[in-house]
Each structure stands twice: as C-alpha cells, then as structure tokens.
A and B are shown apart, each in its own frame.
Chain A
C-alpha cells in the first residue's frame, strides 16, 4: 500500500511541474511579445537602429529561456523561432523594415502558439 502514496505524490509533482512550465511559458510569451511589438513599431517608423537593438535584446532573452523551454516545448517550433530571429536580424541589418515587420509578426504568433499549446483548453484537450 506504500505505492499508493508514492503514486499520488508523482501525480501531484507532475501537476506542479506542468503548472510551473505554463507560468514560465507565459512569462516568456509576454516578454517576447512586448519586444516583438516594440520592434515592429520601430520598423513602421523606419527606425532601423532601435529596431535592431530591440531585436538583439529579444534574441538574447530568448536564448536565455531556450534551455528550459526545450524541456517541454516542441523542438521544431523553437527552431522555427530561432530561425525567424536570425532572419529578422538580417532583414533589419539590410534595412528591409517592411519584411522585418512581417517576420516580427510571425515571431509574435509563434511565441503565443507555444504558450497556448501548453495551456489546457477545450481545443488542446480534444
């Protein structure tokens, strides 16, 4: 009968870990979205320098969150985000700001998608 408390403990542990994972994804999503929207605004204002700086900070932030996210988020989705960050950096560097705005919008969508994937909802459960 000792196995039953261990089993209950395992269920509670995984519930806590999963909840923490959602909280972590949410905070990552919120921060990345803010960066993406700010950078998009700079792109619309043709401010390449500030857009580049914001994107660099966004990339550094995502790099710091990547190791933990990769434990539970799909790796191919994280790789897509990585690729988009590289692409948008290059687009801003060559001052192709309209395309950069589009890529930033993609990044914003992907980040929100990664968070929504982790959140239990009718859509996800069924």
Chain B
C-alpha cells in the first residue's frame, strides 16, 4: 500500500511539473493536439499507480516525452503559419450578414443546435443579428453582431473618460503580497493608513485591492461559521 501511496505522490509531482513546462496555453482553451496530450497523460499516469510491477519510468518517460513534443510543436506553430494550420486547423466563418453557411457547418460537422447554443452563450438569440460568427480552432464560436444590434460603446455616445488600470492585489488572506509589480513600500504604507482608518489590522483582512489613485477595496476575514 505504501508503494502505491508514494508512486501516486511522485507521479502527481511529475505531472504538475510537466503541465507547468507546457505553460499557460495548456491550462486555457485547448487545441486538438493539446486535448489529446491531456487525455494521454492522465491515462499513462494511472498505469504505474495501478500496477506496481511496472517501473515508474514507464510512466514518467512517456509523460515528459509527450510534454516535450507538445512544447516543440507549439514552438514550431508559433513560427510557421502553415504548420499551425496543419496542426490546429483554421478558424471558419459560419455566419456572415445573418446568413448561415450550411456547407461550412457540414464540413465542420457542427450541428445547428451546437451553433445556436454557442450563440446563446454569447447572448445572441437571433441569427439575423449576427454580422460574423467564426468557429475557432478550439471549437469555440466568436461573434460580432451587426451595427445597431451590438451594445453601444461610450465612444459612440461621445463620452470622454480615462483608461483605468486594474486594481492590484495588496493583501491576501492576512498577508501583504510582495510581487504585485508596484512600489511595495509605498503601497503598504498607504494600505496601512487605509486600514487604520477602518480600525483593522493586516491579519484581519481577507482581501484588499487598490488602485494607484488610492481607492481601496477591503474584505474582512469572516468569523468561523459565517461567510462574511
């Protein structure tokens, strides 16, 4: 039993390392090759755990070979558009000016139900309001609605304003975050001043975010048994 326990721990460590080596691409939307790799890795990892007569390297080597191949293929895909289209395919326009391209849908083996479901997920309930709908290589559908059907922007209303940087994470679970890319000492000083005004200590704060202008959002730690 201990053998199985330690094998599971080692493989967990190696799989995590492998997934980290593949990078954020793997954790986001999956391309077909990445999807295959994910399934293969999970199946291969289970073999040495289930059968202790199989050496660990029989699990570790294929996982890292697959990870390495994936990294190399994605590196080549980055440099070569042609290679990228062979491995991942190309985005396909399935709706243009409210008209569904049925031939393209047939080629993609994308049913009308799949298409309508994807449109509804983007709050589009009428096909005739769609200017372009594109099936991406991940299978997701991207939609641009016709002018007049899409939500109005502040630019169209001739409103003026400023681009705002997103707030930085300052405190998480009672501790200052040191790697938020800003001047940590200045941020911490301002944050402590803001907390003092609210009679709070750093340890009492669950979440604190702040902008450069000094606008802070503070969430106190909940008492045990309460959500906030």
Contacts and interface: CB of A to CB of B under 8 A. Distances in A.
Dominant SS at the B interface? helix
A76 B71 CA distance: 35
Given A3-B23, A14-B65, A75 B55 contact: yes
Interface residues of B, number: 21
A72 interface: yes
Given A3-B23, A3-B75, A74 B68 contact: no
A32 to B, nearest CB: 19
Interface stretch (A4-12, A35-43, A84-92): A4-12
A71 B52 CA distance: 12
Q: Which of B56, B57, B68 has the most CB of A within 10 A?
A: B68
B71 A6 contact: yes
A4 B25 CA distance: 14
Nearest to B68: A7
Contacts of A94: none
A14 B64 contact: yes
A111 B23 CA distance: 42
Interface residues of A, number: 17
A74 B23 CA distance: 33
Interface in A1-48: 1, 3-4, 6-8, 10-11, 14, 18
A94 B206 CA distance: 77
A70 interface: yes
A119 interface: no
B223 interface: no
Interface in B72-110: 72, 75, 78
B56 to A, nearest CB: 8
A14 B71 contact: no
A11 B55 contact: no
Contacts of A8: 68, 72
A18 B56 CA distance: 14
B21 A72 contact: no
A10 B53 contact: no
